[in-house]
Amino acid sequence: MQIPSPLQEIKTNWSQTAKVKLFVKRDDLIHPLVSGNKFRKLKYNLVEAKKKGSETILSFGGAYSNHIHALSAACNGNGFKSIGIIRGDEIRPLNHTLQFAEDNGMELHWISRGDYRKKDEPEFIEKLKEQFGNFYLVPEGGTNELAIQGASEIIPEIEIEFDYICTGVGTGGTIAGLIKSCPSKSKVLGFSALKGDFLKDEVQGLLEEGHNKGQKDNEKSASGWEINVDFHFGGYAKVKPELWDFIDDFKEEVDIQLEPIYNGKMMFGIKALCERGFFKPRETIVALHTGGLQGLAGFDK
């Protein structure tokens, strides 16, 4: 396990043309099995589950969920039973993600898309408790207050001053943690992996949830944050040849592997913003590599 994760300066053609300083915060290197930001998000949930005396952790995800992948390994390594409620029909043989989860002892249950939409409803959770017995619940994508607390430990590890910290955004837990811990002179810039403009409200909601519960207000809060929605490439897990080409070029240039669902889109976005003059010369950008590389195995290029 590698915490704090390394901060690595990289020089690409386009970052040098834009005269920006570009760093990658390598959360992809934290843990060989519990990938990147999922490690951050699960950390305090595992502590809480233990404190509550729970033996089993249950969560939700799609068939390619990095969260399900990470949760299965984290539970296996920490003595919890795990149950994964998976959206859609059971398909065997299992894909790489679900096979890994099952190999880690996760009990998989498939539910219809209609039922899956009820995953946050108390009555539905009660039904699951009747079916599976007591469990500690982690929401889809692992995002809850304890996840945000874990993600707020990323920035304090960064020992340089920076103007921007960038991250891919799925459910918004990671960016919420960054916003809460960001020095006031710096900005947080998210790149949405999903189509649509709803994430801003979602993240605002996550930030207010903690606030309403009387958590101390962040004296240290980003001077601004934004979620860019221009680089989703058609939506969640949608990829285009242009994105694969960029990922290949980036790997060749700086020897860092990206995946196409989050980090590829984020870095593509950073490059495009460099080319558009969004970043000023001599500004410092830290790009958070959130991991997720095991997901590459599920893609046929």
Ligand X SMILES: *Cc1c(COP(=O)(O)O)cnc(C)c1O
Q: How far is the CB of 54 from ligand X (least distance, A)?
A: 22
Interaction with ligand X in 219-278: which residues (CB under 6 A)?
Answer: 262
The CA distance from 222 to 215, in Å, is 17
Q: Determine, following the binding rule CB under 6 A, whether residue 66 of this chain makes contact with ligand X.
A: yes
Instruction: Give the nearer residue to ligand X in terms of CB position, either 18 or 268.
Output: 268
Residue of 62, 84, 150, 170 that binds ligand X (CB under 6 A):
170
Nearer Cβ to ligand X (171/186): 171
> Which residue, 291, 41, 39, 288, is CA-closest to 145?
41
Q: Kindly state whether residue 144 participates in binding ligand X, applying the rule CB under 6 A.
A: no
Q: Strand 21-26 and strand 7-10: pairing?
A: antiparallel
Choosing from 173, 210, 264, 269, the residue that interacts with ligand X (CB under 6 A) is 173
Query: Can residue 5 be called a binding residue for ligand X (CB under 6 A)?
Result: no
Task: Give, as one character, the DSSP assignment of residue 56.
Answer: E
The smaller minimum CB distance to ligand X, of residues 49 and 169, is found at: 169
149 binds ligand X (CB under 6 A): no
**Side chain identity at 102, as an amino acid letter?**
E
The Cβ of residue 296 has, within 10 Å, a number of other Cβ atoms equal to: 16
Q: Could you say whether residue 150 binds ligand X (CB under 6 A)? A: no
Cβ neighbours of 157 (radius 10 Å)? 14
76 lies in the site for ligand X, by CB under 6 A: no
Write down the H helix ranges in the chain. 13-17, 36-51, 66-78, 96-103, 113-116, 122-132, 145-151, 173-181, 199-212, 241-254, 263-275
- Rounded Cα distance, 179 and 221, in Å: 6
Closest CB 175 distance from ligand X, rounded Å? 6
Applying CB under 6 A, does 180 fall inside the site for ligand X?
Answer: no
Applying CB under 6 A, does 168 fall inside the site for ligand X? yes
The contact set with ligand X (CB under 6 A) reads 36-38, 66-67, 141, 143, 168-175, 262, 290-292
